[in-house]
Amino acid sequence: MRPETAPANAPTVEDAIAVLKANDLGTYTVPTHGLYPFQWNWDSCLTALGQAHFDEARAWTEIETLFTHQWEDGMVPHIVFHKHDDGYFPGPDVWQTNRPVPTSGITQPPVAGFAVRRLFERASDKALAEQRARALLPKIAAWHDWFFRARDPEGTGLVAILHPWESGRDNSIDWDAALDRVPIDGVIPFRRRDTEHANPDHRPTQAQYERYIGLVQHFRGLGWDSARLHDASPFKVVDPGFNAILLRSCADLAALAEALGETKLATDARARAEAGIAALEMLWSEPSGQYLCLDRVTRELVESLSVGGLLAAFAPIPPHRAARLATRIEEVAATAQYLVPSHDPTDPRYDGRRYWRGPAWLIVNYMVADGLRAAGQPAIAERIEADSLALIAAGFAEYYDPITGEPCGGGKFTWTAAIAVEILTMSEKRS
């Protein structure tokens, strides 16, 4: 068992804030210098939660900058390439999205609705919060509309991701079988840059990278037209974690719209959340005790026990499902020192240091704990938060080996620091 008490040198809120400030480029924050030199979508929204504890206006700006680069069709891109930087692959020349400020052509987990409601409700400057939230509201609604239009053309209530990077869990075991079907003939030769900044043993493999780029080239060939991408994509997966984030954001947007007197928007967003929560049942696996991904090409559930199926707890799912997920996480806790591994450690495919194939990530921990606490499961939520704080004793790493606690990937990581500020401050307030 890991030690119950935090070590004497445990990082403080001030240490975490120093990381946020060091990575702040004024109107957006880079995830970490070197490895990720631009603005990432869900990183920014989660980062704002940490920033709000010391500078509310700056937190609003983080999200606003992202939405300044929203596409005309409503999509909010996963990367905004604010400035030229050769240290990252694939850059704007590969995406070719033809925007005034270059962006990628895919999206990321839509955590903005959740983040904006939280900033609004906690704001000490109410006038500022109302003004900034009111301006963001229709933009977030347009993003959600885009999801249901472009990524759920059959009206199932759940959306598909068309690229593993959209999930935010880039190289999860969840995608292996679907990714294997992506053709790689005609993929341009390329030089990866990520393995120059981080240990190659912690990063996705070359074979996976070829397929990631193959998908980008395929979509680029379709002119990034969202009306065509879904049906034409060889990769189409319905991820419970991704959908839970979207549905939680719909529910939070409804609450925010209600508070701002935008009744029509509130009614529409609430209806979406309710229909989606009902549809999530399609992804429930009774033998696994958790949700699973659905491959929309084969129409089969993917036998892969990842944290995506536990992250479903972030949405307002039925209490009996949340209770089962809490039990499932306790089962996982018997095989890992630190919750929550991104993949079940008993699976032979598990790899405790390779990115999303095993390591624990603080942002995911935060969302799982938040959902479980709201669903009346405070004990497991507290255990997850305590483990998160134990992990940062080794520094604000990108992610951690859930058995040894070893810090992996990039260092001085923005969203890890933001979540540390959030957990440290909120647990103090609760006690």
Q: Which amino acid is at 244?
A: A
Q: 145 vs 176, which CB is nearer to ligand GLC?
A: 176
Q: 172 vs 337, which CB is nearer to ligand GLC?
A: 172
Contact letters (x/-) for ligand GLC, 16-55, by CB under 6 A? ---------------x----x---x-xx------------
Q: Which of these is catalytic: 174, 351, 385, 398?
A: 398
Q: Which amino acid is at 124?
A: S
Q: Provide the phi-psi class of 248: left if phi over 0, else alpha when psi is between -120 and 50, else beta.
A: alpha
Catalytic residue check, 201: no
Question: Per CB under 6 A, does 88 bind ligand GLC?
Answer: no
Q: 171 vs 377, which CB is nearer to ligand GLC?
A: 171
Count residues contacting ligand GLC (CB under 6 A)? 7
Q: 168 vs 341, which CB is nearer to ligand GLC?
A: 168
For residue 84, the minimal CB distance to ligand GLC (Å) is: 18
Q: 277 vs 360, which CB is nearer to ligand GLC?
A: 360
Virtual CA dihedral for 273, 274, 278, 280, nearest 10 degrees? 10
For residue 36, the minimal CB distance to ligand GLC (Å) is: 5
Residue 119 token pair: 């900033």
Question: Per CB under 6 A, does 170 bind ligand GLC?
Answer: yes
Q: 90 vs 316, which CB is nearer to ligand GLC?
A: 90
Q: Which of these is catalytic: 24, 55, 130, 170?
A: 170
Catalytic residue check, 170: yes
For residue 41, the minimal CB distance to ligand GLC (Å) is: 7
Residue 121 token pair: 């409700």
For residue 410, the minimal CB distance to ligand GLC (Å) is: 8
Contact letters (x/-) for ligand GLC, 286-325, by CB under 6 A? ----------------------------------------
Q: 43 vs 262, which CB is nearer to ligand GLC?
A: 43
Helix/strand/coil (H/E/C) assignment for every residue in the chain: CCCCCCCCCCCCHHHHHHHHHHCECCCCECCECCCECCEEHHHHHHHHHHHCCCCHHHHHHHHHHHHHCCCCCCCCCCEECCCCCCCCCCCHHHHCCCCCCCECCCCCCCCHHHHHHHHHHHCCCHHHHHHHHHHHHHHHHHHHHHHHHHCCCCCCCCCCECCHHHHCCCCCHHHHHHHHCCCCCCCCCCCCCHHHHCCHHHCCCHHHHHHHHHHHHHHHHCCCCHHHHHHHCCCCEECHHHHHHHHHHHHHHHHHHHHCCCHHHHHHHHHHHHHHHHHHHHHEECCCCEECCEECCCCEECCCCEHHHCHHHHCCCCHHHHHHHHHHHHHHHCCCCCCCECECCCCCCCCCCCCCCCCECHHHHHHHHHHHHHCCCHHHHHHHHHHHHHHHHHCCCCEECCCCCCEECCCCCHHHHHHHHHHHHHHHHHC
Q: Which of 11, 168, 240, 371 binds ligand GLC (CB under 6 A)?
A: 168
For residue 221, the minimal CB distance to ligand GLC (Å) is: 23
Residue 355 token pair: 């990115």
Question: Per CB under 6 A, does 81 bind ligand GLC?
Answer: no
Residues that bind ligand GLC (CB under 6 A): 31, 36, 40, 42-43, 168, 170
Catalytic residues: 170, 398
